[in-house]
Structure formats: C-alpha cells, structure tokens
Structure 1
Amino acid sequence: MEENHLFPVFFKLSRLHVLVVGGGQVGFEKVNALLENCPSANITIVATWFQQELIDLVKDAPNVELIQKSFSCGDMLGKDLAVAATADAELNQYVWEKAKCSRVLINVADTPELCDFYLGSIVQKGQLKIAISTNGKSPTVAKRLKEVLQEVIPGSINEVLDKLQVIRDRIKGDFTEKVKELNRITDVLVRKD
C-alpha cells in the first residue's frame, strides 16, 4: 500500500520571505492562501502583469511587494520559500531550476513532482489549525474533508485550548509525566462511553 511520507510543518511566514512568481489567477490563489494564514507574511510577487483581484488583495498587506517584471534568477536572493504560480509550464520549470540552485524550497502549482512542499487544505477554528494533505493526489478530497472538519469542530475550541494551556503550565514533573497527565485529562475528548 502506498503511503503519504510528507512531514507536516507550519511555517512562521512573518519570519520568512516568500517569492511568488505569477500575477494571474494561480498567483492570486496562492497569495490569498498565504495571507489568509498569515496576514503579516513577507511576500514578494514577481510578474509581467497583475490581475486586479491580486492588486486589491495585497493593497493593505503591509509586507507584500509587487514587482512588475520578468522573473530572473536574482529574484531568489534572500528568499526562504518560492511558489511558481504561472500558466506557463516552461517558466514554472525555470523558476524551479533557479530555486533548486539557490537552495530555496519551492511549490510549483499543479506539478506535484516539482514540489518540495504543498499548500494543503487548511481548517482553522480559533487557535486550532489542521492541514490536510492527499500527497498531491486529490485537492477535491482535501477540500471535502476540510468542510466536514470545519462543521464538526466546535466554535468554543479556543476555550478548551486556553484551559488546557493553564493545566499544562501547572503540571509538575518531567516531560514524560506531563504528557501522561495531559493524556489522562484529555481522554474525555475521545472516550466512547
């Protein structure tokens, strides 16, 4: 049976610098996803043109820069992550090559074999954030699972998380003892009585 060997990671985009190449619909979707998750994300968008929705999206984003020009390898300098989000497969391939040479992690839209990471489907309720991955096979399944989880996770989840943090801070002992006690306390969340 084939397995998903991706390692889930949550990036602090306010501490990293992301390059997005592409100013059309795909670029808009990627930038929108980044900003929905981190409104203070540091993003540079390079494209020969920008659709109006993208311009409108970033106009009040404090750390987003639009640069209207053709992509060049110098655009990778100082970047931590890159997203190739154009409708031009050859240009996306070129951006991927330059990212690899620069040791920058890259996502190439709709080309899983060229992705170092995927922008998964995200469920967020308060401080709880869940990323869903289908290993690049079916964004539609990820979207449907997102809808289900969004519906079943209670809106009061922040209260639960806040109370568990207080409990966690009060528990004495080493890491193993703290985990054991938190597991005992949270057993009620999964118990099938």
Structure 2
Amino acid sequence: MNTLFPIFLKPDQIQILLVGGGPVGLEKFQAVIQNNEKAKITVVATEICQEFKIILAEYNHIVVAERDFINTDLDKKHIVILATNNDQLNQKIRTLANEKYILLNAADKPGLCDFYLGSIVKKGNLKIAISTNGKSPTIAKRVKEFLQDMLPDEIDETLHLMSQLRDQLKGDFQAKVSALNEHTKSLIDNDGHK
C-alpha cells in the first residue's frame, strides 16, 4: 500500500543540497531545475562530469563545490538529494540529515529516503506527480508518457479560465466549491457517464 503523502515544493524558496556530480547527479539536478529554473541548489561532488559542468555553467545562481562533502554542507539546507554510489558516505549523510531534521532522497536507495522524486507530467500550469512508492520508476515513466499524450494542450487555457471564474465567485468556501465542481463536471463526463 502506498502511504506516501504528495506535496509540491517551491524549490526557489528552500535550500537544496545535491551530493554527486556524475550522470545520476545530473539527472537529479535536471529533475529539479526543469520544474523551477530559480531553484536554490548547492552541488557538492568530489568530481563533476563534463556534461554536468556545461549545464551548471548556464545557472549563475547555483552554488558548485567540486570537493569532498563536509558536514557543514548541510547547514541551512531543507532537503538533500544523494546521487553517489558511496554507501559509507550516503549513510553518514543520512545520519547527519536525521540529526538536523533535513529531508533526504538517495538515488536508487529507497531505504534511505524520506521522499521520492516522482515522474512529472506538465501541461502549462497543470502538474501531475506520479509515484510507485519506489517500486518501479519504469512504470512511473510509462504512466507519465500515457498522461502526457492523453491530456489536451488546451488544458492550460481551461485552468486560466477556471482561475478567473474562481476569483469572481461569491459566497462561502462550500458554495464556491459547488460552483467550480459544476463547471468542471464536463471534464470527467463521458456522454453523461462518469
């Protein structure tokens, strides 16, 4: 049973530490930065691969330290993403993060994770996160592809119109919810059947 609680973070309002500079580190970096180009990320790695360096050069606000991890790298961080294959280092950082109440994700190590980076479907302002509870990133990727193809490109226009409608509605919360539900009913109706 998937007991995860999904949330959407604002990565430009929190401090993220990414430990690792290889292809997996690059993948995790891109997962965050593609969702918010202003994400506040510090990258620490003993060695950063050339492809990652080229991409990092595009983001002046990203802090990069090509050196070994030190304990103070966790200071004033909200989340940590580990992208190393050094089990001893990963466990050390896991312990330190626990002591500082910092949430942690470790690539391909579900047992070390406080959270997972799910597959993301984006259509304008609509964003859907997909999780398989760490069981199968491949299945999450396939579901993402399916939803990406299925959702109409015009969904962002619909979201904009619904936002305008919400701003114009009068009454208490329940009245607004009822009115919005009535307007969006056709989105899930299929010839009058749900």
Instruction: Answer yes or no: same fold by TM over 0.5.
Output: yes
With normalisation by structure 2, the TM-score equals 0.96
| 2:34 partner SS | helix
Deviations 1:62-121 (A, max 9, x none): 321110111111110010110111011221111111111111100011111111110000
Contact 1:99 1:105 in 2 (8 A): yes
Q: Which residue is equivalent to 1:128?
A: 126
Deviations 1:112-157 (A, max 9, x none): 1111110000000111100000000000000000000010111111
Q: Which residue is equivalent to 1:61?
A: 59
Calculate the aligned-residue CA RMSD, in Å.
0.8
Deviation at 1:27, TM superposition (A): 0.7
Deviations 1:34-75 (A, max 9, x none): 111111101001111100111111112132111011111111
| 2:63 partner SS | strand
Contact 1:32 1:57 in 2 (8 A): no
Where in structure 2 are there 5+ consecutive unaligned residues? none
- Aligned counterparts, 1:135-154, within 5 A: 135-154=133-152
1:165 aligns with 2:134: no
Q: Which residue is equivalent to 1:4?
A: 2
Contact 1:19 1:76 in 2 (8 A): yes
CA distance in structure 2 between the partners assigned to 1:124 and 1:62 by the alignment: 25
CA distance in structure 2 between the partners assigned to 1:62 and 1:145 by the alignment: 34
Where in structure 1 are there 5+ consecutive unaligned residues? none
With normalisation by structure 1, the TM-score equals 0.97
Tell me which amino acid in the other structure corresponds to 1:73: N
Q: Which residue is equivalent to 1:77?
A: 75
CA distance in structure 2 between the partners assigned to 1:56 and 1:149 by the alignment: 31
